[in-house]
Chain A
Amino acid sequence: SQQGEEDPQALSIQEGENATMNCSYKTSINNLQWYRQNSGRGLVHLILIRSNEREKHSGRLRVTLDTSKKSSSLLITASRAADTASYFCATSRGDDMRFGAGTRLTVKP
């Protein structure tokens, strides 16, 4: 089911710049996940951060989680044109999984 909010809804940057996307949610969670959707393809899992973690890195990706503010951010450093995609966050709580509406990132060469 669709819940949670991501902002901005759309983000356009130049290649080499950093891109930051935010995700807010409403209830307590077990973990939060970030996904990427390339045009016309299924979602690809990027990173999972558990509720007792504050920060996680994977390559050029950095995810933070602030459970007191019920928010997470995804930072993509040194962006490339190939990073152009939609990015979703999803929260898990027990058996319940909820998705944000997504941020459309465009990286201009």
Chain B
Amino acid sequence: NAGVMQNPRHLVRRRGQEARLRCSPMKGHSHVYWYRQLPEEGLKFMVYLQKENIIDESGMPKERFSAEFPKEGPSILRIQQVVRGDSAAYFCASSLETGGLQFFGPGTRLTVL
């Protein structure tokens, strides 16, 4: 039973480019959470999605960031026109049900040059 998968593990982008981060939840999980971690800091919640719905996006920056979790395929976190401050590790987690324990992926490390 594969765990949560994220790809790519490392992503390098130049300022102004787009970054697309993918998260495949554990089999049977329909709830996905995205977090951002700056160096030496804890995770900060960004967005919580269920299949085809955004449930809570209170942690998402108002501009340039978007997330989706389509009926088929992985959840995508999309960052448009990246800036150096977007450099961070982005983790996703999935759970089986609302309030269920979250299982984390290995993270994607985004570096913006």
By a beta-carbon cutoff of 8 Å, the part of chain A in contact with chain B is 1-2, 31, 33, 35, 37-46, 48, 86, 88, 90, 95-99, 101-102, 104
Is A1's CB under 8 angstroms from B105's CB? yes
- List 16 A–B pairs whose Cβ atoms lie within 8 Å, in order of A's numbering: A1-B3, A1-B4, A1-B106, A31-B40, A35-B43, A38-B99, A42-B46, A43-B43, A45-B42, A46-B42, A88-B102, A90-B43, A95-B109, A99-B102, A101-B101, A104-B101
Q: Which 4 residue pairs of A and B lie closest in terms of their CB atoms, listed nearest first?
A: A45-B42, A42-B45, A39-B99, A40-B98
Q: Bin chain B's interface residue count.
A: 20 to 34
Interface centre among A2, A44, A48, A86 (most CB of B within 10 A): A2
Known: A1-B104, A2-B103, A96-B106. 19 other contacts (CB 8 A): A2-B3, A35-B42, A37-B99, A37-B101, A37-B102, A38-B99, A40-B98, A42-B47, A42-B48, A42-B56, A43-B35, A44-B45, A45-B42, A45-B44, A48-B41, A88-B102, A99-B104, A102-B102, A104-B101
Is B44's CB under 8 angstroms from A97's CB? no
> Which chain A residue has the least Cβ–Cβ distance from B26?
A2
B25 is an interface residue with CB less than 8 A from chain A: no
| Alpha-carbon separation in the docked complex, A98 to B46 (Å) | 19
CB distance from B42 to the nearest CB of A (A): 3
B8 is an interface residue with CB less than 8 A from chain A: no
Q: Which residues of B contact A104 (CB under 8 A)?
A: 101
B70 is an interface residue with CB less than 8 A from chain A: no
Is A40's CB under 8 angstroms from B99's CB? yes
